[in-house]
Amino acid sequence: MTTDQTATRVVVSFPDELSAWGRDQLTTDHFVTYLRRVHGDAAPGDEWEEFLDVGCCGDALTLTLRVEELDPAGATRIGGETTVEFVEREGSVHGGWCVQSADGPVSSTGKQR
């Protein structure tokens, strides 16, 4: 008999091109709660295509999040009490960012490629 173990912590990476504004959206309480609810099963290497809130002026900001680690080792589930830790990895942000200004904001802390 196998028992799914709920992680106390999950480390999730995001592309380093993500702007400061995007990082702020990523770490909001409501987005972290959303991740815990929709991704019950998780394993290192899992990739999640997610949409971040762009407010009233944009059309889409989609990025790939990747599960890097679950604690304790052997954990297979994310629960309501699981701590979500975000880390940066090299990568691009895909998706539209067409807003009212000239092609949207420039990344203030993310890498420019």
For residues 17 and 77, give the distance between their C-alpha atoms in angstroms, rounded to a whole number.
Answer: 28
**Mean pLDDT in each 10-residue stretch from start to end of the chain (113 residues)?**
80 92 89 94 95 66 91 94 96 60 52 56
Look at domain 9-89 and name its CATH class: alpha beta
User: What pTM was computed for the model?
Assistant: 0.78
Question: Using CB atoms within 10 A of its CB, is residue 4 exposed (0-12), middle (13-18) or buried (19+)?
Answer: exposed
Indicate the domain borders of the chain. 9-89
Distance set, CA 2 to CA 7, 8, 45, 76, 100 (Å): 16, 19, 21, 11, 53
